[in-house]
Amino acid sequence: MSNRKVSHIGVAVVEYQRRFLVGIRNGDSPLAGYHEFPGGKCHTGEPSSACAARECREEAGLEVIPVHNLLSVQHSYDHAELDLDFWLCRPADASDELFKQTLHGFHWIPAAELPELSFPAANSAIVELLVKQYASE
Ligand SMILES: Nc1nc2c([nH]c(=O)n2[C@@H]2O[C@H](COP(=O)(O)OP(=O)(O)OP(=O)(O)O)[C@@H](O)[C@H]2O)c(=O)[nH]1
């Protein structure tokens, strides 16, 4: 049993037309080079839904509305002990213009292609769930 401090993480799983907003973790961070959904550590007292929306605004420059919690996952990495809340989010202004916007290196990936990407270990279950729910017609 670990007594390391647990960080609470809000993750924005942003869906538009069965595509999801995905970026690549930058070179200075733990798990650099892995794919990721926008997200990060919740501030003290901040609900994970609000955290997910804030991180999406900060990282991708996109305003989103959290819809519901898809999944919560506890994961122990070498670098940290995490409680991750994955929030289904929708773009606040939904239109095909979204596909033309530069989103700071984030891209819209069809659900069926998510398993081909290299997400961190804590994302296995959410990727499986998204493929099940969004990849079939
Ligand atoms: N954003 C994001 N983080 C994820 C995902 N999956 C996953 O395991 N993580 C982990 O969740 C943690 C997010 O914390 P972070 O370090 O990015 O948090 P932050 O943006 O607040 O950064 P900070 O370190 O500058 O305070 C990282 O350990 C990251 O590896 C994901 O899909 N998206």
Joined together, the tokens standing for residue 103 give 């989103």
Of the chain, the percentage scoring pLDDT greater than 90 comes to 85
Q: Label residue 73 exposed, middle or buried (CB < 10 Å: 0-12, 13-18, 19+).
A: middle
Domain boundaries, the chain: 6-134
pLDDT in tens, 13-70: 999 999 999 999 988 888 899 999 999 999 999 999 999 999 999 999 999 999 999 9
Name the residue of 34, 59, 84, 88 to mutate for ligand 1: max ligand atoms within 8 A of Cβ. 84
The topology under which CATH files domain 6-134 is: Nucleoside Triphosphate Pyrophosphohydrolase (3.90.79)
- DSSP class of residue 137 equals -
Joined together, the tokens standing for residue 72 give 């919560």
- Rounded to a whole number of angstroms, the distance between the first and last alpha carbons of the chain is 43
Q: Which protein residue has the closest C-alpha to ligand 1 atom 1? A: 39
pTM of the model: 0.95
Note whether ipTM > 0.90 here: yes
Name the residue of 9, 85, 87 to mutate for ligand 1: max ligand atoms within 8 A of Cβ. 9
